[in-house]
Structures are given as structure tokens and as C-alpha cells.
């Protein structure tokens, strides 16, 4: 036995001795003057380690080995369906209240509704149709104050264009087409509010429906 392994043996004896006596083990070997204790691991730390490993095994077993949980895509498809239902319901709630007559005589005469529509218009529509409704001289969209209603001048036509975007098959303005706001960002109620607002800034165009 060379000197070093004798030393190592003595160290371990020392370690065993220390363990028996419940003392802290200080390892004999030094690295550039750095010594090491061999303290026991804190129990709470061990619990955290084993608990997380146990969680792994349980979760993986439940999910896969026994397939007890729905898969992510099944879960997601259920959520998608729920959202679609809610949207259908929102549309079903708003649509019956909407017709050419009510939009002009009820919605567009209610100051609160028009104000809400104006707010939405400023946030979502003004970028292309302009804060002055002139659509940057007709370059970024259709002007909304020139009395021309490309896709129909009835209030419900306006609602439908906002809700569904430029009609399918239409050529758009130099090929540019509007987003279907009802499918991407606005609730049916918000679309109706914007419609009411647009009616309110073009009283002459809708005068024939006015009671």
C-alpha cells in the first residue's frame, strides 16, 4: 500500500468514525487550500427532490401509461367549440335587434351607442378610412362621406360589410380588401355600434328610412 492509499483509508476510517459519532466529516484532501465537509443533505431538500421525481412518474403514468387524461388537442378542440358557441350566441342575440329601420331609428339616435361606435372607429377604422372619413383622399380605403356605397347603401349592407369584410368575389379597391372585422376583432354589438356611428355621420344618405 503506497502512502496515499493508506492516507485515503485513514480518511475513510475517519469518515466512518465521524459518522458513527454523528460528527461532521471534514474530508482530508485539500485542493489549493480548499477543504470540503461532507455534511448530510438537508431533509427538506431530499423531500423536494424525491417529490418532484414522484410527480414525474405519476404524471407520466396517468397521461400515457394509462391514458387517463384527454390529450391537449382534444382539450383544445373542446375549447374551440365553446368559443364558437359563444360567438354564435352573441350573434344570435344581436342580429334580431338589427334591421334597416332599427339601425337608423334606434341605434343611430342613441348618443351612447354612437359614442361607443365612434371610439371603436377611431381605434380600428380610422387608420384606413381616416379620422375625417376621407380615407387619405381615397388612397387607403373608401371614403365614408361621399355618398357612394360600393356594396349597398342600406344600413344592413353597411353592417354586413364591416362584419364580413369586402364581399367575396368583389375586386376591392384596386385589389385592396377590407378585413372581416366580425371574425377577427369586433363583437356583433360593436359592429352594430360602428354601423350606427357611420349612419350618424351621413344623415342625408339614410334620411329615407328616418321615421
Partner 1 sequence: MNRATITYNDKCVRYFLWASIIWALVAMLAGVLAALQMNISMEVIRESTVLRPIVEFLSGGTLETEGIPYITFGRLRPVHTNAAIFAFVGNMMFAGIYYSTQRLCRCRVASDKLTWTHFWLWQLIIVAAAVTLPLGLTQGKEYAELIWPIDLLVAITWLIFGYNFFWTLIKRNEKSLYVSLWFYIATIITITMLYVVNNLQIPTSLTHSYPIFGGVQDALVQWWYGHNAVAFFLTTPILGIMYYFLPKAANRPVYSYRLSIIHFWALVFIYIWAGPHHLLNTALPEWLQILGMLFSVILWAPSWGGMLNGLLTLRGAWNKLQTDPVIKFFAAALTFYGMATFEGPLLSIKAVNALSHYTDWTVGHVHSATLGWNGFMAAGMFYWLAPRLWKTELYSKTLANAHFWIGFVGILLYISALWIAGIGQSLALNETANGYVVKQFVETLDNIQSMLFMRSIGGALYLVGFLLLAYNIFMTCRKGTAVDATVEVTVRERDEIDRVTLGTIVKQDPFAAVLGLLIALVFWVTNPSNIFSLAGIIFFSVLAFVRFKKNVKKWNDWHETITANYLPFTIVTFFAAAIGGAVQIIPNALTAKAEVIDDRLQVVYTPLELEGRDIYVAEGCHNCHSQMIRMLETDYVRYGDYSRLGESIYNYPFQWGSKRTGPDLAREGGDISQGSEVMRQGLRDNFWHFRHFMNPRDIDARSNMPSYSSLASSKTNFSGLPEKIRVQSLIGVPFPVMTPHEIEGHAQGQALEISKSIVAQNPFISWVTPDMSRQKIEAELAQKEIIALIAYMQKIGVYEVPVDEDGKPKAAAPAPWENPDQDKAKH
Q: What angle do CA 202, 199, 139 make, to 5 degrees?
A: 65
Q: Of the ranges 107-115, 153-161, 173-181, 199-207, which one interacts with partner 1 (CB under 8 A)?
A: 173-181
Q: Does 79 bind partner 1 (CB under 8 A)?
A: yes
Of 148 and 185, nearer to partner 1 (C-beta) is 185
Q: Does 10 bind partner 1 (CB under 8 A)?
A: no
How many C-beta neighbours within 10 Å does residue 148 have? 11
Query: Using the rule CB under 8 A, which residue among 10, 17, 23, 67 binds partner 1?
Result: 67
Distance between CA atoms of 188 and 120, rounded to whole angstroms? 13
| Cα 90 to Cα 114, 148, 186, 187, distances in angstroms | 20, 31, 11, 8
Q: Does 172 bind partner 1 (CB under 8 A)?
A: yes
Query: Using the rule CB under 8 A, which residue among 10, 49, 92, 148 binds partner 1?
Result: 49
Report whether 209 contacts 101 (CB < 8 A): yes
Distance between CA atoms of 190 and 188, rounded to whole angstroms? 5
Distance between CA atoms of 99 and 88, rounded to whole angstroms? 18
Q: Does 96 bind partner 1 (CB under 8 A)?
A: no
Q: Does 71 bind partner 1 (CB under 8 A)?
A: yes
Report whether 142 contacts 135 (CB < 8 A): yes
Number of residues forming the site for partner 1 (CB under 8 A): 68
Contacts with partner 1, residue ranges (CB under 8 A):
4, 8, 12, 16, 26-27, 29, 31-42, 45, 48-49, 52-53, 55-57, 59-61, 63-65, 67, 71-76, 79-80, 82-87, 89-90, 123-124, 127-128, 139-140, 169, 171-172, 174-177, 179, 184-187
Amino acid at each position: 500500500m503506497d502512502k496515499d492509499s493508506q492516507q485515503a483509508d485513514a480518511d475513510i476510517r475517519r469518515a466512518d468514525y465521524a459518522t458513527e459519532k454523528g460528527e461532521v466529516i471534514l474530508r482530508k484532501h485539500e485542493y489549493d487550500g480548499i477543504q470540503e465537509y461532507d455534511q448530510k443533505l438537508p431533509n427538506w431538500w431530499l423531500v423536494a427532490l424525491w417529490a418532484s421525481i414522484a410527480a414525474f412518474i405519476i404524471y407520466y403514468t396517468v397521461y400515457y401509461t394509462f391514458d387517463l387524461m384527454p390529450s391537449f388537442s382534444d382539450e383544445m378542440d373542446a375549447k374551440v367549440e365553446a368559443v364558437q358557441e359563444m360567438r354564435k350566441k352573441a350573434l344570435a342575440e344581436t342580429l334580431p335587434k338589427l334591421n334597416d329601420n332599427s339601425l337608423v331609428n334606434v341605434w343611430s339616435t342613441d348618443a351612447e351607442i354612437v359614442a361607443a361606435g365612434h371610439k371603436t372607429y377611431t381605434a380600428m377604422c380610422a387608420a384606413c378610412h381616416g379620422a375625417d372619413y376621407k380615407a387619405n383622399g381615397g388612397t387607403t380605403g373608401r371614403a365614408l362621406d361621399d355618398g357612394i356605397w360600393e356594396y349597398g347603401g342600406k344600413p344592413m349592407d353597411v353592417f354586413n360589410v364591416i362584419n364580413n369584410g369586402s364581399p367575396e368575389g368583389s375586386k376591392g379597391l384596386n385589389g385592396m380588401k377590407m378585413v372581416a372585422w366580425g371574425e377577427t376583432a369586433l363583437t356583433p354589438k360593436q359592429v352594430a355600434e360602428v354601423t350606427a356611428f357611420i349612419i350618424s355621420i351621413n344623415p342625408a344618405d339614410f334620411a329615407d328610412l328616418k321615421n
